[in-house]
Every structure is written in C-alpha cells, then in structure tokens.
Amino acid sequence: MDKMLDIYELLKTYGTYIYTRDPIGDLMLMEDEIRELYKANVLDIKDYQMALLLIRQETTKLRIKENNQ
C-alpha cells in the first residue's frame, strides 16, 4: 500500500464507499474505517500503519491547500 488509490481499493473490497463532497471529511471517515478493519484483524499492522500515514499526509496537504486559498 503506497498511495491513496490503494486505500480506496481496499475499502471497496470490503464494501465501503466514501464520498461526502468534503475531501477532509472523507479522509476522516476513511481513517475510522481503516481503524475498524484493523480492530477486526482484517489488516496487518504494516498495512494499518501505512494506510494511516497516507491518510494523514493527504489530510495535511488538503488543509495547507485550503488555508492558502
């Protein structure tokens, strides 16, 4: 797992589609879903940590972009 598309695909595999028209809100929901998959022992620790890292990096990018506009 090395890009956001991988996370979208992973969530789709488990029937989770997230789109709220709020990109930061979407990322927060994705983080919650990833956390739940990990708690259910569906994800291993490596994928869990990488997914959280990618989501948080994307969230930071969007917040910086939002503040510059």
- Note the pLDDT tens digit of each residue in 9-27: 999 999 999 999 999 999 9
The rounded distance, in Å, linking the Cα atoms of 35 and 58 is: 17
CATH code: domain of residue 49: 1.10.287.760
Predicted confidence (pLDDT) at residue 1 exceeds the cutoff of 90: no
Distances in whole angstroms, Cα of residue 26 to Cα of each of 17, 21, 46? 10, 8, 22
How many domains is the chain partitioned into structurally?
1
* The predicted structure's pLDDT at residue 69: 81
- What average pLDDT does the segment 54-59 reach? 98
pLDDT 10s digits, 27-53? 999 999 999 999 999 999 999 999 999
Domain that holds residue 37: 4-68
* For helices 23-39 and 4-13, angle between their N-to-C axes, nearest 10 degrees: 60
What's the pTM value of the predicted model, to 2 decimals? 0.91
pLDDT category at 55 given cuts 50, 70, 90 is very high
